[in-house]
């Protein structure tokens, strides 16, 4: 299911520890998964984006701004799993 930026932000703001949002990214944008969750590092940024194939993701971007990550996923046509 494709979500708008605002819908992604809304879901991100409701995340609790250990919960994630997973998006399939089309091959045209590199494929794989984009996984957004709360950053487990204390003192770090609030959100963490990991990319790659499920089970083999790498940290890509951490930020306090949900809007930035939501835009990144929406611009790459991420499909919520």
State the pLDDT confidence band at 62, using cuts at 50, 70 and 90: very high
- Bridge-based pairing of strands 33-38 and 47-53 is antiparallel
**Residues linked to residue 20 through DSSP beta bridges, in sequence order:** 37
pLDDT at 80: 95
- Distance of alpha carbon 42 from alpha carbon 2, whole angstroms: 31
The number of domains in the chain is 1
| Host domain of residue 17 | 5-80
Give the pLDDT confidence of 25-50 residue by residue, as tens digits: 999 998 999 999 999 887 788 999 99
pLDDT at 55: 79
Q: What is the mean pLDDT of residues 63-68?
A: 95
Half-sphere exposure of 27 (CA within 13 A, CB side): 0
Collapse the DSSP code of 5 into the 3-class scheme (helix H, G, I; strand E, B; otherwise coil) and give the result.
helix
State the pLDDT confidence band at 53, using cuts at 50, 70 and 90: confident
């Amino acid at each position: 299911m494709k979500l708008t930026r605002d819908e992604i932000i809304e879901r991100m703001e409701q995340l609790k520890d250990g919960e994630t949002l997973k998006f399939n990214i089309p091959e045209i944008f590199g494929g794989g998964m984009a996984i957004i969750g709360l950053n487990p590092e204390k003192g770090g940024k609030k959100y963490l984006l990991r990319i790659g194939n499920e089970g083999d993701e790498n940290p890509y971007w951490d930020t306090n701004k949900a809007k930035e990550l939501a835009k990144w996923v929406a611009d790459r046509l991420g499909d919520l799993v």
